[in-house]
Amino acid sequence: MGDVHFSRERAGKVVVLIFFWMLSLISLSCAARLSVSRQKLQVQNHLNRLNKPAVKTIQSPDGDIIDCVHLARQPAFDHPFLKDHKIQMRPSYHPEGLFDENKVSDTEKPKKGSNPITQLWHMNGKCPEGTIPIRRTKEEDVLRASSVKSYGRKKRRATPQPRSADPDLTNESGHQHAIAYVEGDKYYGAKATINVWEPKIQQPNEFSLSQLWILGGSFGEDLNSIEAGWQVSPDLYGDNNTRLFTYWTSDAYQATGCYNLLCSGFIQINSEIAMGASISPVSAFRNSQYDISILVWK
Domain boundaries, the chain: 51-97+116-157+188-297
Q: Give the distance, in angstroms, between the CA of residue 263 and the centroid of all CA atoms in the same chain.
A: 10
Average confidence (pLDDT) over 49-76: 96
pLDDT at 159: 60
Res. 104 pLDDT band, cuts 50 70 90: very low
Q: Please give the Cα distance from 165 to 153 (Å, whole number).
A: 26
pTM given for the model: 0.79
pLDDT at 3: 54
> Which residue would you say has higher pLDDT here, 99 or 259?
259
Lowest mean per-residue pLDDT among 147-156, 234-243, 281-290 = 147-156
* Angle (CA) 276 280 286, round 5°: 130
Q: Give the distance, in angstroms, between the CA of residue 18 and the centroid of all CA atoms in the same chain.
A: 50
User: Nearest-CA neighbor of 64 among 122, 16, 3?
Assistant: 122
Average confidence (pLDDT) over 194-209: 90
Backbone angles phi, psi at 69, to 5 degrees: -105, 140
Contact 246, 266 (CB under 8 A): yes
Average pLDDT, the chain: 82
Amino acid (1-letter code) at residue 219: F
Q: Please give the Cα distance from 170 to 237 (Å, whole number).
A: 25
Q: Please give the Cα distance from 198 to 283 (Å, whole number).
A: 7
Res. 85 pLDDT band, cuts 50 70 90: confident
pLDDT at 32: 58
Residue 36: pLDDT over 80: no
Report helix, strand or coil for 143: helix
Res. 182 pLDDT band, cuts 50 70 90: confident
pLDDT at 111: 46
User: Nearest-CA neighbor of 51 among 31, 30, 71, 74?
Assistant: 74
Contact 229, 275 (CB under 8 A): no
C-beta atoms surrounding 270 within 10 Å: 12
Q: What is 147-179 written as a DSSP string?
A: STTTTT---GGG--------TTEE-TTS-EE--
Q: Please give the Cα distance from 58 to 123 (Å, whole number).
A: 10
Res. 34 pLDDT band, cuts 50 70 90: low
pLDDT at 105: 44
C-beta atoms surrounding 119 within 10 Å: 23
pLDDT at 6: 47
pLDDT tens-place string over residues 10-32: 555 555 555 565 666 666 666 55
Q: Please give the Cα distance from 157 to 174 (Å, whole number).
A: 10
Q: Please give the Cα distance from 192 to 72 (Å, whole number).
A: 30
Name the percent of the chain lying above pLDDT 90: 50
> Which residue would you say has higher pLDDT here, 235 or 23?
235
Q: What is 77-101 written as a DSSP string?
A: GGSGGGTTPPP--S-S---TTSSST
Residue 100: pLDDT over 90: no
pLDDT tens-place string over residues 156-179: 655 666 655 444 455 556 677 788
pLDDT at 202: 85
Q: Please give the Cα distance from 122 to 272 (Å, whole number).
A: 8
Residue 293: pLDDT over 70: yes
Contact 248, 275 (CB under 8 A): no
